[in-house]
Structure 1
């Protein structure tokens, strides 16, 4: 059953990650992972990202720091790309990753810088087209 938290989460998830990504994630869900898709949409996006305490740009930067710190490379790529929709700048991503280097370790930041650099370069090429 889709409730208000789910619907609000779905709207924010689409706005931040892009409709194509969310549509693909939901369409590719199977009986094995459909409950996980529901959990992410309802709780991460519906309960947390809709809260008024932080704007989406700030939440985006915090998420990037946490994903980089945790070595969650696929999700990090996704959220660096989502900065296009959150308003976080490349310079802000750089500052967050420098913070990661000091507090979570240079190896985590090294991987994150490599990933973010690649994604930001792809985005710049797309924007130049």
Structure 2
């Protein structure tokens, strides 16, 4: 799933359509704001995508309707990350977010992979 983008938000039409499908006005705002921060030059797109997964884990925003975890995993994979790197990130972040959040996040990743047939 390696389709590296210069801007992981603005260059991903599927993501843009998904955000706008939640609500057109909200989606437009989310695309413009996220597109701007994803366009900042000092951190590469893969690093930013991995950071978003760690933030999802920290806030336990990995399950349920409307959660961005799957989209963030897709962003990381499109930027060249592997599932193994994402797993290591979850293990590493567990030291700082807590093991229960790590277990929940790893479980969500496992379910995502299983549902997609990527296991």
TM range, normalised to the smaller chain? 0.7 to 0.9
Match for residue 54 of structure 2 among 65, 69, 91: 65
Match of 1:39 in 2: 29
The TM-score normalised by the length of structure 2 is 0.77
Match of 1:26 in 2: 20
Match of 2:95 in 1: 102
Deviation at 1:76, TM superposition (A): 1.2
Alpha-carbon RMSD across the aligned residues, in angstroms, is: 2.1
- Give CA-to-partner distance per residue, 1:27-79, whole Å, 9 cap, x none: 4525xxx1x32332122222x11111011110011110011110112211221
Return closer, same or farther for 1:123/1:43 CA change in 2, 3 Å cut-off: farther
What residue ranges of structure 2 are gaps of 5+ in the alignment? 1-6
Matches within 5 A, 1:1-129: 12-15=8-11, 18-30=12-24, 34=25, 36-46=26-36, 48-73=37-62, 74-121=67-114, 122=116, 124=118
**Residues in 1 aligned to 2:110 and 2:88: alpha-carbon distance in whole angstroms:** 13
More helix by share: 1
Return closer, same or farther for 1:40/1:25 CA change in 2, 3 Å cut-off: closer
Return closer, same or farther for 1:90/1:63 CA change in 2, 3 Å cut-off: same
The TM-score normalised by the length of structure 1 is 0.71
**Residues in 2 aligned to 1:44 and 1:20: alpha-carbon distance in whole angstroms:** 15
